[in-house]
Amino acid sequence: MLTRREFSTLSIVAFGATFSPVLAAFDGPSPVAQARAAEDDTLRSEFLLDLALDTQPATSVGFPGGDRLIVGISGGTFQGPKLQGTMAGVGGDWIVRRPDGSSVLDVRAVLLTDDGQKIYATWRGIAYTAEGGGLSARILPMFETGSTKYLWLNNVVSVGVYRQGTGKVAYRVYRIL
């Protein structure tokens, strides 16, 4: 017969032997898993395309607390390693000018590839006057298409950076990997 003390000691030893591997998993990831996680959370990108838009004069529509500018897209081009073409001339930017001087961009457009495929593009972004007086803008384009050749675009997350000095509204767009 076991005493209470002997039974207690035996129970603790049995518990430790049974659950040590399980508890070790909760101590945190292994050094290899930590290195892999550090590599996986590094933001990587690749050039997707250059985008240049021809725009129409803005129409201003005021509302309480701000101003909305509607800018039509009348044409333009896009070019990258995997696709190129023109803007279909359908679309525009519904800009909200905020009291702090920045603007929220809201663009919808149709891209027409050189091989005749249509891609619907939308993006939101922020534009503001940077130090030194230049315009700074960043956009987050998303794409939709039914074209089998360009179906991969439906899963692309991208970021565009405004390019000054082109004479057009222009962005260099990067695919986030």
Residue 58 per-residue DSSP state: P
pLDDT score at 171: 98
pLDDT score at 151: 98
Give the C-alpha separation, 25 to 176, whole Å. 32
Topology adopted by domain 45-176: Porin (2.40.160)
Tokens of 15: 């518990």
pLDDT score at 17: 57
- The set of residues, in sequence order, having a beta carbon less than 8 Å from that of 15 and lying 6+ positions away, is none
Query: Residue holding tokens 């930017």?
Result: 93
Per DSSP, what are the bridge partners of residue 161? 138, 172
pLDDT score at 166: 85
Q: Return the CA Rg of the chain.
A: 27
| Closest to 104 in 3D by CA, of 126, 122, 121, 123 | 126
- The set of residues, in sequence order, having a beta carbon less than 8 Å from that of 127 and lying 6+ positions away, is 95, 102, 103, 105, 135, 136, 137, 162
pLDDT score at 90: 86
C-alpha dihedral sign at 123, 128, 132, 133: positive
pLDDT, tens digit (0-9, with 9 covering 90-100), for 12-23: 555 555 555 554
Residue 147 near residue 156, CB atoms below 8 Å: no
pLDDT score at 41: 86
The domain limits of the chain are: 4-40, 45-176
- Please give the chain's pLDDT, 177 residues, in tens: 656 666 555 555 555 555 555 545 556 677 777 767 667 789 999 999 999 999 999 999 988 878 999 999 999 999 999 999 999 988 999 999 998 999 999 999 999 999 999 999 999 999 999 999 999 999 999 999 999 999 999 999 999 999 998 889 999 999 999
What angle (nearest 5°) sits at the alpha carbon of residue 86, between those of residues 172 and 141? Answer: 40
Distance of CA 33 to the CA centre of its chain: 26
Q: Tell me, what amino acid is at 33?
A: A
Per DSSP, what are the bridge partners of residue 123? 107, 141
Residue 44 near residue 74, CB atoms below 8 Å: no
pLDDT score at 147: 98
